[in-house]
């Protein structure tokens, strides 16, 4: 197979999905594999991961499933080792795991705050910690961290821990990019906006619209100048560009995928 990632070995975390459809991680794993990457598809949900593997096989791609809790350092080290054992190297890392909980500082309990930072920020740090040494040995690599427009703007819902963690992901990427540029490692961030992913039905509608999915979709779409919501494939294609050699001169920056929402002034 020849493609934009032909010959590269990639780890994609959060490669399952919260439900049917195109979550960011599932779409990234499938599209990377279709573009020639050998993918270690990682997720802690074996059933969700199984569906992703089916889609990769249908696309004619090559992948290995790997169950992993990316908030556990030993498990993340094992994930990096598994990619090298299967494919001999790690050329691309996509840190995609995340999820939001509503509330400001006065509403969030301390445990939820800690959990939000673990899931959304510590997970990216741990993967970088254990993959960067491999990339330094290779003298090459591309890391794509997935943040959120909540990390750069107030997007309509108070979710302070999620917003703080995703802002941290952006700065983690920038600092890491500068530090390891001399080792041939590029680090960038995809910043998705309000996409229609399976999380809308699985979690967000219950948090924000009393379970009314259509009302939540209406609210979210009304903020988007292009007038429609993307899905996980839009995140995946942005990650594909940043992971590919086409982006060889791009590091330490963000690619916002939001239909113009954060450029809007109202």
Q: What is the pLDDT of residues 74-125, one digit of tens each?
A: 999 999 999 999 999 999 999 999 999 999 999 999 999 999 999 999 999 9
* Candidates 125, 154, 162, 180; catalytic one: 162
Average pLDDT, the chain: 94
Confidence category of residue 1, pLDDT binned at 50, 70, 90: very low
154 has catalytic annotation = no
Q: Give me the residue spans of the domains in the chain.
A: 9-194+231-255
Three-state SS letters, 8-61: CEEEEECCCCCCCCCCHHHHHHHHHHHCCCEEEEEECCHHHHHHHHHHHHHCCC
**Correct CATH for 9-194+231-255 of 3.40.50.720, 3.40.50.150, 1.10.10.410, 3.40.190.10:** 3.40.50.720
Does residue 266 carry a pLDDT above 60? no
Please say whether the beta carbons of 240 and 4 come within 8 A: yes
d(CA 125, CA 23): 22
> Smallest Cα–Cα separation from 141: which of 10, 263, 22, 16?
10
d(CA 229, CA 259): 7
Q: What is the pLDDT of residues 171-228, one digit of tens each?
A: 999 999 999 999 999 999 999 998 888 877 766 545 555 667 788 788 888 889 999 9
């Amino acid at each position: 197979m020849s493609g934009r990632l032909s010959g590269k070995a990639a780890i994609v975390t959060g490669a399952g999905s919260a439900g049917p459809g195109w979550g960011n991680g599932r779409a990234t794993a499938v599209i990377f594999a279709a573009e020639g990457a050998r993918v270690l598809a990682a997720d802690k949900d074996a059933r969700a991961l199984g569906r992703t593997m089916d889609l990769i096989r249908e696309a004619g791609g090559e992948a290995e499933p790997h169950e992993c809790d990316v908030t556990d350092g030993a498990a993340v080290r094992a994930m990096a080792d598994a990619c090298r054992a299967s494919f001999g190297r790690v050329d691309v890392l996509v840190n995609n795991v995340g999820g939001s909980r509503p509330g400001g500082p006065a509403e969030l309990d301390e445990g939820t705050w800690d959990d939000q930072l673990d899931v959304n920020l510590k997970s990216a740090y741990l993967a970088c910690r254990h993959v960067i040494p491999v990339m330094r040995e290779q003298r090459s690599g591309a890391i794509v961290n997935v943040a959120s427009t909540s990390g750069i703007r107030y997007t309509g819902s108070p979710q302070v821990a999620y917003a703080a963690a995703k802002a941290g992901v952006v700065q983690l990427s920038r600092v890491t990019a500068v530090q390891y540029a001399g080792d041939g490692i590029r680090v960038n961030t995809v910043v998705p906006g309000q996409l229609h992913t399976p999380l809308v039905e699985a979690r967000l509608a219950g948090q924000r619209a009393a379970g009314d999915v259509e009302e939540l979709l209406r609210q979210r779409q009304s903020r988007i100048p292009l007038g429609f919501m993307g899905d996980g494939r839009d995140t995946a294609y942005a990650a594909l560009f940043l992971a590919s050699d086409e982006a060889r001169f791009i590091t330490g920056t963000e690619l916002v995928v939001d239909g113009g929402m954060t450029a809007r002034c109202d």
